[in-house]
Structure 1
Amino acid sequence: MNRLCVHTITTKPWSIEEAAENFAKAGVSGITVWRDALDGRNVQQTGEMLRQHQLEIVSLCRGGFFPSTSAKKREEAIVDNKKAIDTAAALGAPMVVLVCGADPGQPLSTSRKQIQEGIEKLLPHAEANNVKLTIEPLHPMYADTRSAINTLAQANDMAESISSKWVGIAVDVYHLWWDDLLQSEIMRCGRNDNLYAFHICDWKSPTEDMLLDRGLMGEGCINVPEIRGWVEEAGFEGQIEVEIFSNRYWEMDQHQFLDQIIKAYQNHS
């Protein structure tokens, strides 16, 4: 349990105050905060509250969404990402996870170029605030609007091209479990010392909704323990983050859901 982190979005019906209290009581050791959970709150005071509950603030979700056919929208994305970095710094989060974005009105190669340009523009602000930027490749089904970075190889290529200790990678099993190059690309992260985050859940079969029907570990077809073994072999020693989007689980009693998360973490990760 000393490495179990739960995202605020996983227990979406709870406020961040409720999540902090209940995570701490259950023995969860870390929390990743989604920006919407901070709405209407003093960010610095919220960070202090989380630390008072002995929760490690693992990261802030999310930044990104850099590409657009509109130069104005690309600039607006930079402004928003700077705000995310500021929020992470005030909260005490060491990194911002980037859902990099895509624009269906242009080639994926153009979107990828704009993603790299966007991250490079943010680097001085990230470094000044001591906040890392973490590229999260997303499943190809999201390549139209959510992310043009769809494989770990693409994320590795970009991180290596940027070549900054302030830029790393998040491995999410939901997005990458299908990739036959996953093991070798995780080891590549290890060689580059840039594997900053590891997210777990499961892929249900059949899946009723490609966004909002993720499963608990052990409920689907992802070999989470095997992938965890690879990331640890690559040198990852950080928190194991449970990130689940699920209408079914959001509708149930969240105390019972948290109990199920803990059991699934203990038995299937």
Structure 2
Amino acid sequence: MEESGERYEAAGVKGISVWRQYLEGRNIAQAGERLRNHGLEIVSLVRGGFFPSTSAAQRQIAIDDNLKAVDEAAALGAEMIVLVCGADPGQSLTVSRKQIQEGIERVLPYAIANNVKLAIEPLHPMYADTRSAVNTLEQANDMAESIGSDFVGIAADVYHLWWDPHLEQEIKRCGANGNLLAFHICDWVSPTVDMLNDRGLMGEGCIPIQQIRGWVEEAGFRGFNEVEIFSDRHWAGDQDEFLQKIVASYKSC
């Protein structure tokens, strides 16, 4: 994290979301302060979720872990936790979605008490087996509206949502309800050689990023455009060069 803070500041980056594994063994409050000293706003903590299971004991373990994530977000100074909601292939998606909502509702009072929001991130249907039973923005909107709290909203990632023929209207719906908390960008490379780690720089693929960004801004979103590129190809290279490429593609696309 120290290196990221230094390099991001030098590159003119103004925000960062922190993955939980990088907080292990650290004084979390001090880590947050160091990032802010580099001029970085801590947008979110990544990630909570993974609520569904055929096992009641495993569901309780997930609840406990999400309560811990709230503590971490509060100590770090992150205003929200991004939820990768989870799924269990041993049960129906309907049951998994019910367990997701129940899990969020159990964590919510503690999140409110600690002033931490919970952002549901719908994931591409190719992840519906284990990573998330919430696969469209419509489903995420339905769930957020059913819960009905100012502390529950949605993180919209173009990688997961770009294919959806109802995306524009669901973004409008999300914004109208005040539920659009985060916006993530990258690109879909074709052909994709890895389901998880083959995302592209903006402009390398086929996602209409500018159009979707326009919809998001028309819906009232004024937060960060967060670059999230999982890529074995890009990670294998020099990371200073990768950061430069990210900034260049961000400005051009």
**Equivalent residue of 2:39, what SS?**
coil
Count of matched residue pairs: 253
Residues 1:44 and 2:29 are matched in the alignment: yes
Alignment partners' CA distance in 2, 1:218 and 1:240: 15
Residues 1:105 and 2:85 are matched in the alignment: no
Alignment partners' CA distance in 2, 1:29 and 1:83: 27
The aligned residue for residue 107 of structure 2 is: 122
Task: Select the residue among 12, 28, 36 that pairs with 2:13.
Answer: 28
Alignment partners' CA distance in 1, 2:188 and 2:220: 25
Alignment partners' CA distance in 2, 1:127 and 1:148: 24
Structure 2 counterparts to residues 201-240 of structure 1, below 5 A: 201-240=186-225
The aligned amino acid for 2:81 is V
The aligned residue for residue 117 of structure 2 is: 132
Alignment partners' CA distance in 2, 1:69 and 1:257: 41
The aligned residue for residue 72 of structure 2 is: 87
Structure 2 counterparts to residues 191-206 of structure 1, below 5 A: 191-206=176-191
Alignment partners' CA distance in 2, 1:139 and 1:206: 16
The aligned residue for residue 12 of structure 1 is: none
The aligned amino acid for 2:108 is L
Alignment partners' CA distance in 1, 2:28 and 2:184: 24
The aligned residue for residue 263 of structure 1 is: 248
1:40 is displaced (CA, Å) by 1.8
Percent of aligned positions that are identical? 70
Deviating beyond 6 angstroms after TM superposition, the runs of 4 or more aligned structure 1 residues are none
Deviations 1:157-191 (A, max 9, x none): 00000000000001000000000000000000111
1:36 is displaced (CA, Å) by 1.2
The aligned residue for residue 6 of structure 1 is: none
Alpha-carbon RMSD across the aligned residues, in angstroms, is 0.4
The aligned amino acid for 2:10 is K
Alignment partners' CA distance in 2, 1:23 and 1:46: 15
The aligned amino acid for 2:5 is A
Q: TM-score, normalised by structure 1?
A: 0.94
